[in-house]
Amino acid sequence: MIVDRVPGDYQSASSHPPERMLLELQEAQQTIYDFLLKIVKTWPASQVLEEFKRLFIQHSDTTNAETLPSLYAIVFANNEQEFCNTLKRSCYILINNWEVKREHQAIQDLIGLFEDPVLQRHTFSPTLKRLRNWLRRFVVSEDFQTIRLFAFRLHEESREEQWSTRYASYLLVPQYVDTQNPIEQREAARVLSRRLKEKFKFELALYTAHSQSASPISKRLKNPTALGEGVLRLIKAIVARRGRYSYRNLAHLFLQQTRELRYRSFKKSLVNYLIFSVDQPDFVKTLKAQLSQKLDQLHTDYNDNPLDSSLILRTCNRTIDYLTTEDKSTPSMLFTMLLSQGSSLTLAIVLLKLILVSKSSHAYLEVRIAELIRYYEQFPRDQCRWIINFLEVFSVTFAIYAENIEYNLIQVDENGKIQPSASFSRRVNLDACRIFSQAIRQPELAEGTQAEDEAGPEVNL
């Protein structure tokens, strides 16, 4: 039943001391959270949705006599922000639990509840008028858009509604790294982001493995990228870096050679490391000039200090800013300059090199990528082809260097037979190679061992 008047329309909590009001507000919120957490774990999703609808949309009695009074306690406190926080956290409690149980349709249906016509209905009740106004503003808020992101990525038909939703695995990162968000929201974002990345890595490895054969399965596999058949050559170009010149080994050698340096010298070496083996003269010139100038002015008070892990992390993070977005909302000048030269792969590799030096910067980088996506999503797809191309190349590059999958390049002769040597020069004929991928059971041990085994002679960076 939809009510048009509620008891206590003119009740006010203003006479209570602020400390008491805050305590009552927190108790009311916790009552709602506990109720939803209990039923989502034990009830069918359809019944949970009905209870959520009765409480937050229709504002009628639920099976728990304490939840509706708790909701009105928040309303009578006249605190719209706390109401929105309560509603947002309640949504994520349901999303989190349904995601674990793979009840994705329930998440779709949850989003659909906010399209109920009752939100637009006129009422004479001051309390209901306040509630419906709050709900309408919540539906058009950024908080609700992030909730809708979960539904978009779990619904196959909605994938192309907005080009940016394709990159939800990055858009979710700012949610789970923001400690101000409810723990349920952070966990839901972390789980879905990780699942989307793993899904992309698996589909890419599967497509790569079978697309080089004439088997029937190869015709049924969908290319998970937007790069077309060119993705195979891209993967070969990335994987072709082997032995002591592999990106992991270069990072390992760089850290070894710079660990005794003063900070000023480390910054100069970092630029040399990033442009090492880059074959594009314009890219090298631009990056070296612009980045050297910025790093020269970075943390100058520490120039004569010995290098430590904190300085490495802070420097890599600032370098990521220079290469993506310095103000955390618009593309940096360096980002625009480099991509205008058609250097998507080279820029992706430079960012990869930074993460291989500072693994703790990975989430930081993905937040910056998310900010770039948010900036460009205001433009139609046709105007964003170059940024979409970069995002695709970036995703493939980091999928290849994921710690749980290993790609290998095998040379074959004219008859399709594998060559005995697996060593590649920089001018290897990529068309005469095939790609193989496999899961890695112990990535940390395997990676550390490989770095030591392949280190070989010193490479001056």
| Domain membership flag for residue 197 | no
140 and 235 fall within a common domain: no
Cα dist from 3 to 61, 77, 132, whole Å: 10, 21, 12
pLDDT at 183: 92
pLDDT at 61: 76
| Domain membership flag for residue 304 | yes
pLDDT at 80: 92
| Domain membership flag for residue 206 | no
pTM (2 decimals)? 0.81
pLDDT at 444: 38
| Domain membership flag for residue 183 | no
pLDDT at 243: 56
Distance between CA atoms of residues 235 and 224, nearest Å: 13
* 3 state SS of 434: strand
Let me know: does 253 contact 461? Beta carbons within 8 Å: yes
| Domain membership flag for residue 408 | no
pLDDT at 455: 32
Distance between CA atoms of residues 324 and 331, nearest Å: 6
Q: Which domain holds residue 93?
A: 18-159
Q: Provide the b/e sequence for 175-213 (b: ≥16 CB within 10 Å).
A: bbbeeebbebbbbbbbbbbeebbeebbbbbbbbbbbbee
152 and 35 fall within a common domain: yes
pLDDT at 109: 93
* 3 state SS of 246: coil
pLDDT by 10-residue block (mean), the chain, 461 residues: 49 55 86 95 95 91 85 89 94 92 90 91 86 93 88 56 87 94 92 91 85 61 87 84 76 94 96 91 92 96 96 97 96 92 90 96 97 93 92 94 73 58 52 65 37 34 43
How many other C-beta atoms are found inside a 10 Å radius of the C-beta of residue 423?
Answer: 9
Phi, psi dihedral angles at 172 (to 5 degrees)? -80, -20
Among residues 135, 159, 183, the one where a domain terminates is 159
Question: Which residue pairs, CB below 8 angstroms and at least 24 apart, start in 121-125?
Answer: 121/2, 123/4, 123/5, 124/4, 124/5, 125/3, 125/4, 125/5, 125/6, 125/9
How many other C-beta atoms are found inside a 10 Å radius of the C-beta of residue 104?
Answer: 16
pLDDT at 395: 96
Distance between CA atoms of residues 231 and 145, nearest Å: 32
Give the position of tokens 């910025």: 294
What is the number of domains present in the chain? 2
* 3 state SS of 407: strand
Among residues 109, 131, 159, the one where a domain terminates is 159
232 and 316 fall within a common domain: yes
Please choose, from the candidates 104, 93, 144, 140, the residue with its C-alpha nearest in 3D space to the C-alpha of residue 120.
Answer: 140
Distance between CA atoms of residues 86 and 217, nearest Å: 48
Distance between CA atoms of residues 114 and 373, nearest Å: 26
262 and 372 fall within a common domain: yes
Among residues 159, 190, 208, the one where a domain terminates is 159
